[in-house]
Chain A
Amino acid sequence: MKQNLKYIKAMKWAFGMLLLIGAAPAKAQRPGPDSANVIGIERIGIIDSVSVTPLPSQSDGLSFAELLPGAPGVSVTESGAIGAAPLLMIRGVNTINMNASPQIYVDGVPIKYARQFRPFLSQYESTRFGFLNLNDIKSLAILKNADELSAIGGRGANGAIFLTTDRGEFGGTKIEFTANTGFMRANYDVDRMSAASFKEYLKQYLSENGSTESEIANNPIFDASLPAYNKNTDWVDMITRPARYNDYHIKLKGGFGDANYMFSVGYTGKQETIDNAHFGRTTMRFNLDYKLSPTFEITNNLSYANTGSQYFEQGNDWGIHPLYTAVTKAPFLGRFAYNDSGEETKLVANVDALGKSNPWALVNNMKNSNEENRVDGIISAKWKARKSLSLNSALSVSYYNLRESQYRPALGIVNDEYRIRQNANRNSSEFTLIWNSFLMKNGQWGSRSTYATQLGAWVETFEDKALYARKVNAGTDDYETLQQGVVDSASNVKFTSNLSRFYFSGNVDVLDRIYVSANVNAEGSSNFGQNGRWGLYGGAKVYLDLLEHGNATSLTARAGWGRTGNNDLRGFYHENLYYAVNYFGYGGVYLGNIANEDIKPEVTNALDAGLRMRFFNNRLELDGGIYRRVTDNLITLREYPIELGLNPSLENNGSIISKGFEFQLNAKLIEKKQVSWSVFANLTTLDNEVSSLSNGDIINSFGNINGIAAPSVSVGSFYGYKITGVFSSAADVNLKKADGTNYMAGDYIIDDLNKDGKINERDQQVIGSLLPKYYGGFGSQLHYKRLSLSARFAYAYGQEIYNSFKQRLHLMSDYSNQSPEVANRWKSEAAPGNGMLSRAAYGDPSYNGAASSLWVEDGSYTRLKFLSLGYDVPLKPTASFIKGLQVKITGENLFTLTSYSGLDAEVVSSSSPLMRGIDFGASPLPKAVIVGIKLSL
């Protein structure tokens, strides 16, 4: 709070200075040649224009988020898993337990970026924006400034992105046909032992774990005469492939007289570089603008999309992780089973003697699939009561259905505890209905001052439902549905949230030189009880031209403040709630939530200020600014003394701060008729810490890896043990396990933080930070006659990655193939190895596999995300029906600069703020080459 006051004082001072400077002679701003408005953004209560984010014109992306790497103001982390949602972050993480993703609006309809229900697999979070064909996107704006976010009320704590779809334009019908095809190849080089060296290692491993020489000699695995154990299989090669991408899209646009329309149909198909993982999408969209009379206009949006995808485990469920299984399965085994006579059959081999699934079975027989259907419809009417006054009213309806299925047969796949086979289905749907109406009024004061105002009301109802069932142990692998087996778990959930908001926005341009804008809105949400239901949000900003307009040089100062929040609380925590449990086969009930009548949304106070300079008639533009967000009333779990026997309850307690500096440069180095060349660069720094958590540190775990939120620690830092070496001999062992027994020679030496000679949870410490310290992009665009060449790089520095995949390849706790580096392990006091790798102990009795500093790596990278070459084909005037033909070739992810040793420095493990940055060996982003044409008729 003290910091807030200090900031407010600083802002007051800054405002004063701005006013003083503003007294100097200057002229007001005018739109520049490269400005672009985001059509329709007034629907969410923003009546100032916002910057449009330039997007690459060709990519293999499935969602808009894949177009954003390198764009200013947003951190994007992508995954190579097909259809996975990239991780987006705008000015840091501003919550811990709530939804931490930016809010997305498509044509004014709010859509949550992150999925609600946990996926069937351990970590795969599919994108919810596959329904939006990238060819239909007209503009994309990143909302990050304080006043912009205050205008959207309790949804702006983590920034927002406003997308609009294409619309018709006056003129005859134009047809655009776009076709792209491409290939993708990923690097799956993982160091592992060959068949011969793994066999040798296995012998040593068994010996080090107590097997006698005769037991080893009698183990059929080592029998050179058995062909079943003497193959040489490249399992990784067996399950990976070069992948394909295809995208076809037809768009009809036009308008005549009083009606403009846009109709499009598209299909996109994309494969992953793991066999059989793929994504397909069919979309249709019809946008119509109709002018019924000079004062009355109607616009309609209608769209339908169907997507289907197939994907695999890429998290910490190691038994069914195709890549992990392929890397760690014995290369001396083969894909097919052997009969009792020792002859190879054509039947798929079952789980092997070392306990590993058959990777081929995992990618060919196990199925994880999603099918989505989405329909969106918007009808809006605009009545121009007068030239300066209009009433707008819109009704939007969205329905989204997701059907997730999992089929896990027995053959070749390890059992999941008692589940030999399993089939799971979840059918979830979302329904959103919004009525939004607003008045707009603008006018002029005198000859040099103008104003615009907006007054609106928004009523929204949202409902999601999910029906889930899993059946296990069907009689055979033939049943891929819920038809057979025993019900293992089932659930039926529904959540309804109603929201209304009343908003007012206004701006005034005084004397063509000072521009002031403000907004205020009151928002009521059914997610909270009477005491916390209503949130009041608002913000303001001021812009000031410091130099006289019309000069080749301009200098603009800006400052803004806004109060936004996070209302995405899913539950009814203001009520006493009774939960269901079972006892002895009977249904029981208990009081699970003690009402907190005062629970309310998290509140974010944001400040920003900056300076924009333009030189040489706008050919060089520099923009620098600072930002700071303080989120208070964090919704955290309050644990009661355990003697009360009550579940923890949610309460508003704690705050988190993100702050940093943003910088942008745009330069048009050459600007001639035949040749133009421009470059851009942007940088965002991030300092994101919890400032207070009265209910104590929050630790979330994924696998055995912890992320922590604690005061003065970067949000989501990895929390584990710090390893300083390996005990080389029993005499060196000076630490005890928690029970007081000694560690053994060959165990890792752990930093005994509290110096009590015992290693337990109290010795855990921060071992790495998953948030980047700075990130951004840079690039260039060159046009020469009909050729164009553009490049865009993205970078992120300072973030660390927990390389869990690498840890597994050095763990030596079972019969997995390992990294050749394990030859340097501790084997005996006489052969202590290189002092950096523990002993090989089956079952890991000393917890050498606990999360530790040994596997935290620098994850910084710079990557060439897009490199595009385009050519406008000259057309003979005789072929007049073809208005244009453009040929393009784009390379993605062609070049990466990083010291990270894993498959990819871009790691997406979870959207939860405390479980990000863990590398479980997900598919790396492939290098892609896309060729395509765009034909205009």
Chain B
Amino acid sequence: MNNDSIKKIYQPPVQKQNPAMLGRFILIFVSGCLTLLLGGCKDFYDVDPYAVIKEIDFNKNREDLNASAFGMYEPLTHEVHKFLLWGDARADMVTTGQKEPDPYINEFVTNSISVENPYTSYAGIYQSIARCNRQLEKVYAVAQLDDKILDRDAAAFYAEALLLRAFNHFMLAKNFVRFPMMFSDHAEGIRYVNQAGDTLVRKVNHLSNDDIRGSFYYPQSRDQAIQMIYEDVLTVLGILPINYQWNRNSLPAQERYGRVSQAMAATFAAELALWLGDYQAASAFSNSPVLNSNHTLGASGTWVNQFTGSYASLHSLFLLGYRYPNSFETNRLQEFTSSVEKDGGRYFLKPSAWAIDSIFSKEPGDIRTSFSYKVMDGDTVIWKYIGSDNVVSMRPGYQSDASWHLYRSADAYLYKALADLMLSDYSTAFNFVNMLRVARGLEELDPAETNYRDRNFMLALIFKEKARENAFEGKRWYDLMLWSRLSGTNQLAAAVAAKYSAPRREEILQKLQDEAAWFIPIDPKLWE
């Protein structure tokens, strides 16, 4: 037999043994081992992680709730380039910058989006929703543990999560062919009905993905979804205090604009009411942000600050913010819009010629015309996210920290104008448009020379003003959808088709006549 591999190390010496003594010896040894095993073994195996927090150590106090609240917004900050694609690249004001365009970017520009396109993934939105639901689940339990959390505070944290969830649901409703709505925290368990009709709750990791998908709630129609979102926002308006100070000290700029607020909720409610045709409510909700002194329409001189310096300068109601200098937070907007390669610019998107010719004001003084886009070394570029002033200075390379605006005071003014227009209060509508024009450096429109009592004319006027105000902010597509709703005719198809040349123009016009083609197809299984 092989001696290399099987020879025993211990050659057996032959010796008589005392079995009793041997037995005692082994017994002592085994007892010692078992004592070690059983005594104190819980602590031995129960090791605390260092860089992460266990459930038992978290959600104890106000600070934990506040940190969780920041966590709710964070997934959205990684998605703003997608918001630009979803809301603008598809629409009339944006086209591709590259000579040979990136295929997946180009799918948005050409309105031929495939399910394989990774930019269709809505995963980031659902991450935010999941964190909102977790917060909703935990707020009142944490409030029980921390005496410093008053009812008003708990309500504020609760309302914040509910409002952000509603906003996320609205993003889905405006964009996707099909989407489930998530109304509860699934981290601990999923409630579902089995084949026998019993309602069961099981841990998520004990269910198959098919079973999990089977438990999802899909709204019966887009309007039903918007109605449910609207109801959530109405709840928020009832419990979220006005100008709530999350940290109880002075309200820092980041909190005022980077977190949802009562003013944002009212603007959001106004928009939803417009979508649902409840113009009276829309008009009423618009009043709240218009009257809120923490947010103003601002002046043309400070308008660019929203993108270059002090986050918002009171203009903003809600934005996704980044702080490069001390935490290196960036987005991909510089990559998407800059033509400067050494700055990391890929020049995926640029303003369409049609937008420059037809949307932007050629009147002198409109700050938005001079800041929204520029011509740089022969390339027309979206300037909002790469410019650091209104002239030629640019944001440094790879420091793409321009805020992504979701609601501004101007939105509230324009929703007010739209609501009142739909209520046939033409003069109020006209006045609100003029207020915005003046604030951006334009002359007031002369009522004598403006057919302001013509609803369709005014709709076109307001949506053009909104396009200038919100240019390249990922809103145009939805504004065209809203315009279509308000006017009762398909405004989107013609507007979008206008940016193409023949024969593509006719093809797109045909395709977008069908409202079903307005939404992005998605195969969520591809992005798991």
Q: Are B49 and A571 in contact (CB under 8 A)?
A: yes
CA distance A575 to B187 in the complex (A): 12
CA distance A645 to B101 in the complex (A): 31
Q: Are B25 and A586 in contact (CB under 8 A)?
A: no
A78 at the interface (CB under 8 A from B): no
Q: Are A739 and B104 in contact (CB under 8 A)?
A: yes
Looking at A362-370, A444-452, A883-891, the stretch in contact with chain B turns out to be: A444-452
Q: Are B50 and A588 in contact (CB under 8 A)?
A: no
We find that the number of chain A residues with CB closer than 8 angstroms to chain B is 117
A172 at the interface (CB under 8 A from B): no
Chain B proximity of A638: nearest CB distance (Å): 7
- Point out the residues of chain B lying under 8 angstroms from A673, CB to CB: none
- Point out the residues of chain A lying under 8 angstroms from B128, CB to CB: 645
Q: Are B1 and A515 in contact (CB under 8 A)?
A: yes
14 chain-A/chain-B pairs, Cβ below 8 angstroms: A29-B7, A31-B7, A32-B3, A51-B4, A386-B17, A452-B9, A572-B47, A572-B52, A584-B73, A586-B70, A593-B52, A738-B116, A739-B106, A744-B100
- Point out the residues of chain B lying under 8 angstroms from A391, CB to CB: 25, 29
Task: Mark out the residues of chain A between 463 and 496 whose CB falls within 8 Å of any chain B CB in the assembled complex.
Answer: 488-489, 491-496
- Point out the residues of chain A lying under 8 angstroms from B41, CB to CB: 500, 524
Task: Mark out the residues of chain B between 347 and 389 whose CB falls within 8 Å of any chain A CB in the assembled complex.
Answer: none
Q: Are A739 and B47 in contact (CB under 8 A)?
A: no
User: Among A525, A554, A579, A584, which residue has its beta carbon within 8 angstroms of that of B323?
Assistant: A584
User: Among B8, B49, B106, B117, which residue has its beta carbon within 8 angstroms of that of A49?
Assistant: B8
Q: Which residue of A lies closest to B5 (CB)?
A: A51
B514 at the interface (CB under 8 A from A): no
Known: A47-B9, A498-B45. 4 other contacts (CB 8 A): A386-B22, A526-B46, A588-B70, A744-B100
Task: Mark out the residues of chain B between 8 and 28 whose CB falls within 8 Å of any chain A CB in the assembled complex.
Answer: 8-15, 17, 22, 25-26
CA distance A584 to B67 in the complex (A): 12
Task: Mark out the residues of chain B between 52 and 84 whose CB falls within 8 Å of any chain A CB in the assembled complex.
Answer: 52-55, 58, 64, 67-75, 77
Chain B proximity of A165: nearest CB distance (Å): 18
Chain B proximity of A246: nearest CB distance (Å): 35
B204 at the interface (CB under 8 A from A): yes
Q: Are B134 and A591 in contact (CB under 8 A)?
A: yes
CA distance A896 to B74 in the complex (A): 54
Indicate whether A388 sits within 8 Å of B107 (C-beta atoms), given known contacts A572-B47, A577-B54. no
Chain B proximity of A38: nearest CB distance (Å): 9
B457 at the interface (CB under 8 A from A): no
Q: Are B54 and A49 in contact (CB under 8 A)?
A: no
CA distance A371 to B99 in the complex (A): 49
Q: Are B254 and A642 in contact (CB under 8 A)?
A: no
A775 at the interface (CB under 8 A from B): no
Chain A proximity of B3: nearest CB distance (Å): 4
Q: Are A439 and B123 in contact (CB under 8 A)?
A: no
Chain B proximity of A603: nearest CB distance (Å): 19
Beta-carbon contacts of A600-615 to B below 8 Å, as 1s and 0s?
Answer: 0000000000001000
Q: Are B112 and A739 in contact (CB under 8 A)?
A: yes
A551 at the interface (CB under 8 A from B): no
Q: How large is the interface on B (under 10, 10 to 19, 20 to 34, 35 or more residues)?
A: 35 or more
Q: Are A388 and B15 in contact (CB under 8 A)?
A: yes
- Point out the residues of chain A lying under 8 angstroms from B50, CB to CB: 493-496
Task: Mark out the residues of chain B between 396 and 446 whose CB falls within 8 Å of any chain A CB in the assembled complex.
Answer: 396-399
CA distance A344 to B186 in the complex (A): 68
A676 at the interface (CB under 8 A from B): no
Q: Are A594 and B7 in contact (CB under 8 A)?
A: no
A672 at the interface (CB under 8 A from B): no
User: Among A443, A525, A762, which residue has its beta carbon within 8 angstroms of that of B17?
Assistant: A443
Q: Are B8 and A47 in contact (CB under 8 A)?
A: yes
User: Among A571, A642, A841, which residue has its beta carbon within 8 angstroms of that of B122?
Assistant: A642
Most buried by B among A459, A577, A585, A587: A585
- Point out the residues of chain B lying under 8 angstroms from A42, CB to CB: 9
Indicate whether A572 sits within 8 Å of B49 (C-beta atoms), given known contacts A49-B4, A451-B12, A645-B128. yes
- Point out the residues of chain B lying under 8 angstroms from A515, CB to CB: 1, 6
Q: Are A587 and B67 in contact (CB under 8 A)?
A: yes
A9 at the interface (CB under 8 A from B): no
User: Among B32, B45, B72, B99, which residue has its beta carbon within 8 angstroms of that of A526?
Assistant: B45
Most buried by B among A437, A493, A583: A583
CA distance A387 to B69 in the complex (A): 70
CA distance A493 to B52 in the complex (A): 9
- Point out the residues of chain A lying under 8 angstroms from B7, CB to CB: 29, 31, 35, 37, 48-49
- Point out the residues of chain A lying under 8 angstroms from B12, CB to CB: 388, 442-444, 450-452
Q: Are A29 and B55 in contact (CB under 8 A)?
A: no
Q: Are B328 and A489 in contact (CB under 8 A)?
A: yes
CA distance A197 to B77 in the complex (A): 48
Q: Are A502 and B33 in contact (CB under 8 A)?
A: yes
Q: Are A29 and B2 in contact (CB under 8 A)?
A: yes
